Amino acid sequence: MSSAASSKPSIGEALKSVFSKPTALCVTIALAMMIYVDIGFKNWMPTHLQSEFLESNPFLRQWAGFHAVFWHYLGAALGIMAGSRIGDRLVKVRPGIRLEVGIAGLTCAVPFIVWMAMTPSFAACCVAMFGFGVFRGVYDSNFMASFFDVVNPRYHASGVGVMMCIAFLFGSLSSTVLPFIAKLTGDNMSISMSSLGGFYLTGAIVILLARIFYLRRDLVSS
């Protein structure tokens, strides 16, 4: 019993598994940016749709919550399928491909986030949410695998726990920050929602730094 207990990773070891590997830390920061956007998007997009497009249509207004997530997650399903195939096929010949897929996903999602927030057309907003979802799915398909690429398998579960705690704690701020930004801009929810693109771009930049400076030395030998 004592030997089994002593073999379990400690909290300190779990923290070290993330913070001692700059690439793992960068992946964690990027995930925090994505979770921030995800929470803000899901919490406030129904309100944005109602106020901008569906105020005069009681029937569609009842479906604001559906439209706010359906088109996005439909695109995400397609993006996950595409991104995962790219990462798994090329990782043996290009070890940095998982990070590169993540960079592409976060970066390419930015214009769709701004489009969905600023467009005056409900149909265009749904198309933009779909495009946003596609590239969010591309990012989602590889972020966990890229974390495992640089963290010792012994600490995979505990390291993921640390990563998720950090990401969701930061992400929880968006529900408060978005309405604050809206108030600063004259109750303009469009500007507030478009600010989410900046967090995706920040995540992409952080992963790019990891790809350029840290990945080669952080990779766990298989």
The pLDDT tens digits of the residues spanning 152-186 come to: 999 999 999 999 999 999 999 998 999 999 999 88
Give the phi and the psi of residue 181 in degrees, each rounded to 5: -65, -40
Dist CA 154 CA 162 (whole Å): 14
Token reading at 149: 């690429």
Q: Return the number of other C-beta atoms located less than 10 Å from residue 27's C-beta.
A: 30
- For each of the domains in the chain, give its residue range(s) and CATH number, in order of start: 11-216 (1.20.1250.20)
Per-residue burial over 96-113, b = 16 or more CB atoms within 10 Å of its CB, e = otherwise: bbbbbbbbbbbbbbbebb
What's the mean pLDDT when you consider all of the chain? 92
Rounded to an integer, the average pLDDT of 53-80 is 86
Closest CA to 145 of 217, 80, 214: 80
